[in-house]
Amino acid sequence: MSFQKHESEHIKKNFKRKLSRTELEILAAEWSEHCSYKSSKIHLRMLPMSGPGVISEKGYDSGVLDVGDGYVVTVHIESHNHPSAVEPFGGAATGVGGVIRDILSTGTRPIAVLDGLRFGNIEKDSHARWLFKNAISGIADYGNCLGIPTIGGEVEFDDCYKNYAIVDVAAIGFGKKENLIKNHANTGDLVVLLGGPTGRDGVGGSQFASDSLESEDRSAVQIPDPFMEKLIIEAVLEARNQKCINAMKDLGGGGLSCAISETADSLGIGIELDVKNVHTRESGLNPNEIMISESQERMLIITNKQKIKKLEQICSKFRIKCSIIGHVTNDKMMHVKNGEKTIGLLPAEFVANAPLLNRKKIKPKYIENLEFEKEFKKLSNYSEILLKLLSSPNIASKHWVYRQYDHEVGIRTVVKPGMDASVLRLDNGKSLAIKIDGNPKQCYINPRQGAIGCFEEACRNVICTGCNPIGMVDHLQFGNPEDPEIFWTFMETLEGITDFAKFLQIPCVGGKVSFYNETPSGPIKPTPIIGVLGLTDKFVFPNVSSSGDSILLIGETKNELGGSEYFEYIHEFIGGKCPAVDFKESKNNMNAVLSLIKNNQVKFVHDCSKGGFGIAISEICIRDNIGCTIELSKISIDKELSVECLLFSESHSRYLLTVKKENLRKVKQFLSSKNINFGILGKFTDDQIIINYISKPIIRLRVDKAHKKWYSRLGELITQA
Amino acid sequence: MKVGVIVFPGSNCDRDMYHVLKDVFKINAEYFWHEKSLPKNIDAVVLPGGFSYGDRLRAGVIAAHSPIIKDVKKLANAGIPILGVCNGFQILVESGLLPGTLLKNESLNFMCNWTTLVVKNNKTPFTNKLKLDQKIPIPIANGEGRFFADKTLMNDLRKNNQIVFSYDDNVNGSIEHIAGICNKEGNVVGMMPHPERATESAINPIDNKPSSLIFESLLDTIGGKN
């Protein structure tokens, strides 16, 4: 437990008396970076958070979007990096559990989970393999047991995550608008703690997460109990149906300290509670431990004396404990008692609002020379390079991962994991697309453009399914914010995301900031993750590309190999010019693709991202088990490009389209009329990927051979132990 | 006609099954919490998939001791059609209503895959509209789905025509690729794959007809009792 100097002064200024141990513990937990957002809060206000479909209520931990016909979708994103780096199974599992309870808190049923996972180099580092394998098992074990499908996500490997793990989990909820919990409380209402017992696991977890990872503090990692979480979900939803809940919040970072102070502060009430009434896992827990334990699977509910009987009946049906731990007062104080004795009495507003910081930022030195490209040894065997890239762990098929997740339970999953965004059907006949994307390699070279790129990529993926982006969530992960160079990368990222969100008019409906992602070997690369949700009234199933279909590439390809998989995996070079999004081109291309899909003029759309055009076309050939013949010189460019650039540059705003012969003329006319840059590159045919440049053959690769490499690589790496 | 869908603590395919019975096949379905009793005049019972009791000890073993299982056994003895899917199959095995055992998959991992079933017995209430050796594209999602039986039991199963479904390929190491079996009388059927996930064209990318026939068979069996 520690306070920074200005925090101690802030306490001194506000209290004439000396604070008790319990009070200090509560403040330390709630004022940790993890709970208070003290370094980021004043800056996060720049994000556009409202929009026509956004519903906001007091005390919501997740974003709520109106999807019409009386229904809402909820969304939230969280990470569990420090715990997963120490104990990957439990850390990753409880990461899933936490974000699901945020969805539940609004009164919606969790219907899907996506996870973004990042580890060290699994080809060389057996510890990274161990973390990877066990984090996957943890997520599978938890999500499968809950019956909430894990419908997608991403997996990436980079040396900057050595001895570390990034485990980001996004969750989606769905429900009727009328069932949303409208958080409110009256004096005399009862404060109830429902769910698993409070134990010593996770004591001080949020402070552990607010420091760089130097020791393996396993007791700060929570123990997962998915069965308890499942019972809580069903009990809470039943209590919601029976209107037993006035207000609700899940217990996460900071445990009871955080849940009580934030609930009281957001509702403008006071709460008096007795720690003796908290049901515990073991005897002998001291009051301070009870206040800051982060034991999982617990919900805080405010109800009244008439409704408590019903709530207790529901809990007894599911055999879960619910304890009345206190009641609502009108003095706006957080009053903690141990039996008769007062052990803490603090204004809730004071606890819930840590003194905020405006940290220094300085452009990092490392960035200065990063954009220069060095001369590489000329490589000429592009077939071999393409094959090697297909087997790069960052590009190879992730089926080894998502086949361990039940991605179909709930029978909503229309587009299953493996391609662009995943799509869920909703009860009102509409379809919801979701994708999360990150790209630390590009964010390292250019934090602003890298972050905008992640955002655009997530949008592109959603667009590929024919859905219109309606909201986004961001998760911003960096090293120590006290380092002005790191803080500069955070600010660049945030400003970039803000600019693009405002331009596209996509509201940010939720997010999280995670600092101190460091190990003794240094900070991680800037790792913002952007999740985008899209909606369509009528989903059009993508078709299979067949012989004779034309291949179109929309968007301009530029000299932007910086941070590409080609530079990093083939040349082991970090640097170069990172792709930048042209806002206008981005929006025009999105609108054009959406329009083509809606009018049934394309059979299939796939976005160009990691690995560039070369990988994107290979992925379609593998998916549809068909070859192609491509002429690279037909690619739309702004100026003369090398073959490497044409094949592997990761320029944004690009989409690969499969177009039937009879639609080709119409599609051409439409794209020309909208001034879209595009090229007709060739046709699908036979069983080989054939790529020519000015009629000279460059690549000739059998699709089955490409498929085998791409499909089996990840599994092979894991089984080698 | 009425079909009961049993809900155990931790069941998670109960709502999917209910939706398919009710909305897709217009069957009068009703949930039954595991501590309730089943009405005598019920026409069929489904034990849906999920993780009853979090799969603690062994998949299905605790749920097999739920109060409602007594009624399930009575109905089974009375010849009422009973279907257990995935965890429901595991519960039927653990409660002794079906023979054999379900072990961890050969990969030792949870597997969520689309696979192909082959119909081996089309005389049960859930397969009578399917043809022998007909193929069914269907998803599986389980960690403990590898069916095992010793030699004597395998002989019995073959002799009594108790093998209802097998996988077309060796999916998880099940003996003789077995994916579903029935009791000697044929009215109690257990299967690891999820027919409720394959009957709607909106979510079944391959072919929703064969798996729909599982529910249409049931409809055909109990339909006259309206």
Say yes or no: A366 contacts chain B, CB-CB below 8 A. no
B65 is catalytic: no
More confident residue, A211 or A655: A655
pLDDT(A74) > 80: yes
pLDDT for the residue B226: 43
CA–CA distance, A683 with A706 (Å, rounded to integer): 18
B194 is catalytic: yes
> CA A378 → CA A381, A389, A562, A644, A694, distances in Å?
10, 17, 17, 10, 19
pLDDT(A562) > 90: yes
More confident residue, A356 or A638: A356
Contact call for B51 and A409, based on CB within 8 A: no
> CA A668 → CA A464, A589, A604, A605, A671, distances in Å?
18, 14, 16, 15, 5
Question: How much of chain B, in percent, has pLDDT values that exceed 70?
Answer: 99
> Residue A674 in contact with residue A545, Cβ under 8 Å?
no
Residues A515-541 have a mean pLDDT of 95
Residues A290-298 have a mean pLDDT of 93
Question: How much of chain A, in percent, has pLDDT values that exceed 70?
Answer: 97
Residues A580-596 have a mean pLDDT of 98
Q: Which domains does chain A have, with CATH numbers?
A: 540-715 (3.90.650.10)
Say yes or no: A142 contacts chain B, CB-CB below 8 A. no
CA–CA distance, A36 with A39 (Å, rounded to integer): 8
With contacts defined as CB-CB under 8 Å, which chain A residues touch B111? 403-404
- Entry pTM: 0.95
> Residue B96 in contact with residue B61, Cβ under 8 Å?
no
CA distance B73 to chain A (A): 23
Residue labelled with tokens 């009710």: B22
At residue A378 the predicted structure's pLDDT band, cuts being 50, 70 and 90, is confident
pLDDT in tens, A435-448: 999 999 999 999 99
With contacts defined as CB-CB under 8 Å, which chain B residues touch A413? 203
Q: What's the mean per-residue pLDDT of chain A?
A: 94
Chains A–B, number of C-beta pairs less than 8 Å apart: 80
pLDDT(A206) > 70: no
Please choose, from the candidates A427, A173, A231, the residue with its C-alpha nearest in 3D space to the C-alpha of residue B19: A427
- Cα B211 to chain center, whole Å? 12
Contact call for A230 and B20, based on CB within 8 A: no
Please choose, from the candidates B99, B226, B110, the residue with its C-alpha nearest in 3D space to the C-alpha of residue B164: B99
CATH of segment(s) B3-225: 3.40.50.880
pLDDT in tens, B118-169: 999 999 999 999 999 999 999 999 999 999 999 999 999 999 999 999 999 9
Burial of A719 (0-12, 13-18, 19+ CB in 10 A): exposed
CA distance A184 to chain B (A): 31
Catalytic residue positions of A? 34, 80
Nearest to B51 among A145, A317, A541 (CB): A145
Residue labelled with tokens 């306490």: A11
User: For residue A252, which amino acid is it?
Assistant: G
At residue A719 the predicted structure's pLDDT band, cuts being 50, 70 and 90, is confident
- CB hemisphere CA count around A136 (13 angstroms): 28
pLDDT(A205) > 90: no
**Segments in A70-125 forming alpha helices (H):** 81-86, 88-105
> Which one-letter DSSP state was computed for residue A431?
E
> Residue B92 in contact with residue B82, Cβ under 8 Å?
yes
Determine the length of chain A. Answer: 721
pLDDT in tens, chain B (226 residues): 899 999 999 999 999 999 999 999 999 999 999 999 999 999 999 999 999 999 999 999 999 999 999 999 999 999 999 999 999 999 999 999 999 999 999 999 999 999 999 999 999 999 999 999 999 999 999 999 999 999 999 999 999 999 999 999 999 999 999 999 999 999 999 999 999 999 999 888 788 899 999 999 999 999 854 4
Quote the radius of gyration of chain B (alpha carbons, Å): 16
pLDDT(A204) > 70: no
Close Cβ partners of A669 (under 8 Å, ≥ 6 residues apart): none
pLDDT for the residue B207: 86
pLDDT(A213) > 70: no
pLDDT in tens, A409-441: 999 999 999 888 999 999 999 999 999 999 999
CA–CA distance, A719 with B109 (Å, rounded to integer): 12
Nearest to A409 among B55, B141, B205 (CB): B141
CA–CA distance, A287 with A337 (Å, rounded to integer): 9
Contact call for B112 and A407, based on CB within 8 A: yes
pLDDT(A319) > 50: yes
pLDDT in tens, A18-28: 999 999 999 99
CA–CA distance, A684 with A543 (Å, rounded to integer): 14
CA distance A432 to chain B (A): 13
pLDDT for the residue A373: 76
pLDDT in tens, A104-161: 999 999 999 999 999 999 999 999 999 999 999 999 999 999 999 999 999 999 999 9
Say yes or no: B112 contacts chain A, CB-CB below 8 A. yes
Chain A residue with the nearest C-alpha to that of B139: A408
pLDDT for the residue A58: 86
Close Cβ partners of A367 (under 8 Å, ≥ 6 residues apart): A445, A446
Parallel, antiparallel or unpaired: strands A468-477 and A508-514: parallel
With contacts defined as CB-CB under 8 Å, which chain A residues touch B202? 414, 425
With contacts defined as CB-CB under 8 Å, which chain B residues touch A231? 9-10
**Of A595-599, A645-649, A716-720, B217-221, which gets the smallest average pLDDT?**
A716-720
Q: Is A91 helix (H, G, I), strand (E, B) or coil?
A: helix
B34 is catalytic: no
Chain B residue with the nearest C-alpha to that of A145: B51
With contacts defined as CB-CB under 8 Å, which chain A residues touch B20? 411
With contacts defined as CB-CB under 8 Å, which chain A residues touch B205? 416, 541
Instruction: Report the Cα–Cα distance between both ends of chain A, in Å, rounded.
Output: 39
